[in-house]
C-alpha cells in the first residue's frame, strides 16, 4: 500500500491483528493454531508460546472479524454492530480483564487469564486505551468490500475512506464514474 498505514503506539498491534488476512490475494497469516501462537508471540502479546488449540484459533478469528466490523463502522460514521460488540465482550470476559494500578496509581487494564485468552485480552486493553486517548475512531477498515484492510486515518478531518487512494480509492471512483455515464 502506498499511503502511510501505521497506527500510533500499541494501537498498531490491533491494526496488524486485523490485517492478518489480506483478502484480495487471499493470504491468511493465521491459517492454523500454530501460526496464531507464532504471531501472538512475535507481536509480544503472549509472554511464552501459548500453545493455541483449534478452539483458540476460532475465537481469535472471530475477535479479528468483530474488530474489522467495528473499523468498518468507524469508516461509515456508525456505531459498531451489536454482534461485534458481543464478541468483544465475550473475549474480555474470557481474558478476565482487570484494572491494575502501579506505584504512581496509574491504572491500566490487564488480563488475568493465561495463554491465548490473555493475548486477546491484551489486544482489547489496547483498544480501551485508544478509546480513552481518542485514537480509536481513526482506526478504520477500507470501504472496498474486496479489501477491508485496516488503516489509520491521519487526515485532519477524519475523512479517509480507503486504505490506498491509488488502488481502492481509484477503483471506487472509476466504478462510480462508469455507473453515472452508463445511461
Domains and CATH numbers, the chain: 11-181 (1.10.3300)
Q: Quote the pTM value.
A: 0.89
Residue 98: its H or E element:
strand 97-101
List b or e across 126-161, with b for residues whose CB sees 16 or more CB atoms inside 10 angstroms: bbebbeeeebbebbbbbbbeebbbbbbbeeeeeebb
The dihedrals phi and psi of 28, each to the nearest 5 degrees, come to -110, 115
User: Which residue in the block uniquely carries the three cell numbers 497506527?
Assistant: 7
CA-CA distance, 36 to 56, in Å (whole number)?
A: 9
Tens-digit pLDDT profile for residues 15-74 = 999 999 999 889 999 999 999 999 999 999 997 888 999 999 999 999 999 999 999 999
* pLDDT bucket at 13, cuts 50 / 70 / 90: very high
Tens-digit pLDDT profile for residues 90-109 = 999 999 999 999 899 989 99
Amino acid at each position: 500500500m502506498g499511503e502511510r498505514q501505521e497506527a500510533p503506539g500499541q494501537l498498531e498491534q490491533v491494526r496488524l491483528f486485523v490485517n492478518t488476512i489480506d483478502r484480495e490475494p487471499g493470504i491468511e497469516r493465521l491459517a492454523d493454531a500454530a501460526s496464531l501462537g507464532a504471531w501472538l508471540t512475535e507481536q509480544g502479546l503472549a509472554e511464552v508460546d501459548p500453545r493455541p488449540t483449534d478452539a483458540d484459533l476460532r475465537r481469535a478469528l472471530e475477535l479479528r472479524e468483530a474488530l474489522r466490523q467495528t473499523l468498518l463502522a468507524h469508516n461509515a460514521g456508525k456505531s459498531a454492530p451489536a454482534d461485534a460488540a458481543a464478541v468483544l465482550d465475550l473475549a474480555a470476559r474470557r481474558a478476565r480483564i482487570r484494572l491494575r494500578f502501579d506505584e504512581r496509581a496509574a491504572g491500566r487494564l490487564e488480563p488475568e487469564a493465561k495463554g491465548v485468552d490473555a493475548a486477546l485480552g491484551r489486544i482489547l486493553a489496547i483498544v480501551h486505551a485508544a478509546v480513552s486517548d481518542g485514537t480509536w475512531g481513526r482506526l478504520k477498515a477500507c470501504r472496498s468490500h474486496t479489501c477491508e484492510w485496516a488503516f489509520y486515518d491521519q487526515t485532519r478531518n477524519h475523512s479517509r475512506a480507503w486504505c490506498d487512494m491509488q488502488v481502492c480509492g481509484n477503483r471506487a471512483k472509476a466504478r462510480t464514474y462508469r455507473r453515472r455515464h452508463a445511461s
